[in-house]
Structure 1
């Protein structure tokens, strides 16, 4: 499954490494990519192992409010 999370504007490039690093450690996440300029987090994951809501929770715990989530 592919999930896009739209966040508030990122303030520094280190945000990218923090989010990608934490997401890639999670079981069920196959790929995670942060698009700095568009404030989007693209995640490919196994919905049976980790849900979109759980991914949203991880990003928010890191201090980045998620404004919307779209899955396909």
Structure 2
């Protein structure tokens, strides 16, 4: 398992947390996805044989959030 953290644009509402965590949890290979609202960071633990950090970043961006 690999863990990666992404810095996002400032999150404006708690609903953003649920949207990102739900979107990431649907990806095969994601073990855990956690969004820290106050720091606007995403921490994801994943199986690198099934998904890459770039795939996770792309999914976050498709959900409408800029990864800095």
Task: Name the TM-score class by shorter chain.
Answer: over 0.9
- Alignment RMSD, CA only? 0.4
Taking the aligned partners of 2:48 and 2:4, their CA distance within structure 1 comes to 10
TM-score by length of 2: 0.97
Give unmatched runs, 5+ long, in structure 1. 68-72
Answering whether residue 4 of structure 2 is matched by residue 3 of structure 1, we say yes
Moved over 2 A (4+): none
Give unmatched runs, 5+ long, in structure 2. none
Aligned residue number for residue 24 of structure 1: 25
Aligned residue number for residue 70 of structure 1: none
TM-score by length of 1: 0.92
